[in-house]
Amino acid sequence: MAKAMKIAIIDDEQDMRQSISQWLALSGYDTETFASAEDALKKLGPDYPGIVISDIKMPGMDGMQFLKKLMGQDSALPVIMITGHGDVPMAVEAMRVGAFDFLEKPFNPDRMSELAKKAAHARRLVLDNRALRRELSDGGQLMKKLIGVSPVMERLREDILDLGQADGHVLIDGETGTGKTLVAHALHAVGARAGKKFVLVSCSALEEDALSKRLFGPMMPEDSQLPAVEEARGGSLILEDVEALPDAVQGKLLSFVNDEGTPPETRIIAISNLQEQGKTCEDALRADLFYRLAALRITVPPLRQRGEDILTLFTRLSEQFADEYGCDAPKVSAQEAAQLLQAPWPGNVRQLINVAERAVLQSRRGQGSITSLLMSDHEDMQPVMTTEGKPLKEYVEAFERMLIDNTMRRHKGSISNVMDELCLPRRTLNEKMAKYGLQRSDYL
pLDDT tens string 199-250: 999 998 889 999 999 999 887 766 667 899 999 999 999 999 999 999 999 9
- Average pLDDT in the 95-104 region? 88
Radius of gyration, alpha carbons of the chain: 28
Rounded Cα–Cα distance for residues 100 and 76 (Å): 9
Residue among 274, 244, 270, 242 nearest 178 (CA): 274
In sequence order, the 6+-apart residues with CB closer than 8 A to the CB of 304 are 343, 344, 345
Kindly state whether residues 168 and 120 are assigned to the same domain.
no
129 in a domain, yes or no? Answer: yes
Evaluate whether residue 426 is within a structural domain: yes
**112 and 63 co-located in one domain:** yes
DSSP 147-194: ---SHHHHHHHHHHHHHHT--S-EEEEE-TTS-HHHHHHHHHHTSTTT
CATH number of the domain at 374, please: 1.10.8.60
Considering only 122-131, 153-162, 269-278, which range has the smallest mean pLDDT? 269-278
Q: What's the confidence (pLDDT) of residue 388?
A: 38
Domain match, 41 and 101 both: yes
| Domain contains 13 | yes
CATH assignment at residue 108: 3.40.50.2300
Same domain? 191 vs 313: no
- Report the distance separating Cα 364 and Cα 357, nearest Å: 11
Looking at the 3D structure of the chain, how many domains does it have?
A: 4
Q: Is residue 123 part of a domain?
A: yes
Domain containing 17 equals: 6-134
Q: Are residues 361 and 343 in the same domain?
A: yes
Nearest CA-CA partner of 128 in 31, 25, 5, 45: 5
Residue 382, pLDDT score? 45
The reply to whether 324 and 346 lie within a common domain is yes
Instruction: Give the model confidence (pLDDT) of 139-182 as tens digits.
Output: 667 777 888 888 999 999 999 988 988 989 999 999 999 999 99
pLDDT of 383 > 80? The answer is no
Q: What is the rounded CA–CA span in Å between residue 399 and residue 415?
A: 19
pLDDT at 4 over 60: yes
Which of 355, 380, 405 represents a domain boundary (last residue)? 380
Between CA 244 and CA 357 the distance in angstroms is: 32
Distance of CA 398 to CAs 153, 157, 182, 280, Å? 16, 22, 26, 34
CATH number of the structural domain spanning residue 193: 3.40.50.300
Residue 387 in domain: no
Residues 169 and 291 in one domain: yes
CB atoms within 10 A of CB 208: 12
pLDDT score at 354: 92
pLDDT at residue 139, as a whole number: 62
pLDDT tens-digit readout, 40-77: 999 998 889 999 999 998 999 999 999 999 998 888 89
Whether residue 138 has pLDDT greater than 70: no
Same-domain check for residues 174 and 107:
no
